[in-house]
Structure 1
Amino acid sequence: MDKRIYKFSYGKKINFVVNRLLIILINSFFCVIFAFILIFIYGIVESNFSEDGNVKPIAIILFSIIALAAILTLVTFFQPQNVIIDKEYLLVHRRFLNWQYIARGYNDKILINNIVACKAYDGIRPAMNNSSWMPLSILYFNWDDLVEINTTNKRYLIPVENSKNFIEEINKRIKSTKSKENDETSQSAVPTNMFQFDLQRGYMPDCDEIVLGVNGVEFKTDKTTADLINVKIISYNDIQLCKKSDKHSINGVDSDNIVEITTATQTYYIPIKNPYDFINELYKKLNTCNQ
């Protein structure tokens, strides 16, 4: 899906102007606090280490950081406020720090697969046009375009132009993402009728598999696994007993997951991963065959 950009919905031009002024005021406030903290740190360093060495390099570094913070504060005033919808996330450009949600930083990045709900805001509207306790993306806006986004652990309130289209686009991408995840899950899921030999090596498709087939237990083997069991299929009709064996080694292969399958003429010892799951599934097959 292509990238979409939505502008914030201010409602009135005066709201836009007020928001821009508030951005510079709020960010300047935090910049001043940050500067005082650095100056305080410098004062401690100077009072304790000025006699032992030159603290001028430290002063240069600290005041350079303050200058950089001031420049960034001014830059944010000229940066646009908007929402960018990408393939995997939303990027909400607030451009200011909300003191109650300061951990979120200047902007919000919301992963689409974390979104639980996206809908038009239908909550209370405070008497004033803004409320500091709400996780708002801007402070003065058009209430009719306010969108509420809930993730697994956070809530966002974003006023955007063409809000209905925005909500439809988000929900479409949520559906697409979840559909893709379900497809990947179903493709990666191991069928309950397929098991693997418990060998001291990595899994090798088509030669390390034990399949509970239509008529019996089928073994897909190579030279190594063929030495463990000299049969390609054990018919369900021939199986008298299947249980976890007390053996811990078979034909030189060590395993704590050896399953014992007994027929009228022979007993087979097979190292199988998840032996109890195999035994349960096998007995389901046997019960079905006996009905």
Structure 2
Amino acid sequence: MQDNHSPISSCHKVDLDNCSTEPIHRPGSIQPHGVFLALDATSGVILQISENCQEHLERPAESLLGQSIESLTPAEANGLLQAALQSDNWRKTNPIARAFHTTDSLKFFNGIIHRSDVSVILELEPKAHQDMIDFPSYYHNVRESILSLQNTRTIDEACAAVVAQVRRLCGYDRVDLYKFDADWNGNVIAESRSSTMDSYLYQRFPAGDIPERARRLYALNWLRLIVTADYVPSRIVPENNPRTGRPLDLSFSTLRSFSPVHLQYLRAQSQNPGALVFHHGTERAHGWTDGFALSMCPPRPF
């Protein structure tokens, strides 16, 4: 995939004629339900941050740039945070839960850590009360789902079980399983939905609905979460990383902002094509347990 070092925000108007070459991995912005920090890999100094830090951390971006990430966390937690930031095994480290100082209190966040170019990326989402997991209940739910899959005898039965169990575990209004043919046209082959949602079962979608660049990005990052198609992106400042002189590659970001063309597609058709697709009838904050439970199950061809 040919790289384009200009973020979407700096490009010419994106439309159907040029969306296939759009630098979707370098959007220069994030979805606003979380806050994004790019840190120096050695010192932990904040090199870039999303402008909505004022909303989440109650501090303007200018006051945080150049500060150590340790200045935002309680002293007793700094060792654990530094160990997580220095780890090379992100699948073992993530997710993390940490408290951060706001203006006059502590605020709790769930977070993930990964790397982009030479920077360590820390992405945070406010921790909601429903994130508290009752382990015995969670264990039994996951075990029931695994047993349901083990008891299937055909691919069709397995596909039906997957969408039913994902919807049961995560609570979405509709879950679709989307299969590509040799030419990358897509077909919805299994679905579980509430009675309030329209069905997409057996509908077909042309290859152009998911450009080649987007398909390659999904092969790198299995999860793509959008809280609402009507969000206003929060810019990452400064635009260029001070260490590399170019915008960050957000291929592995969970908060990454999406193409304006794709968001318009969602608003127009309420469709969100991919390998395993989740829909909710109203704006929904995706629980971290949703994403990380699913991330343990890499996509495989069938």
User: More relative contact order in 1 or in 2 (CA 8 Å, sep 6+)?
Assistant: 2
Return the index of the structure with the highest Cα Rg: 1
Which structure's residues are more often helix, by fraction? 1
Q: Under a length normalisation based on structure 2, what TM-score does the superposition of the two structures give?
A: 0.17
Normalised by the size of structure 1, how large is the TM-score? 0.18
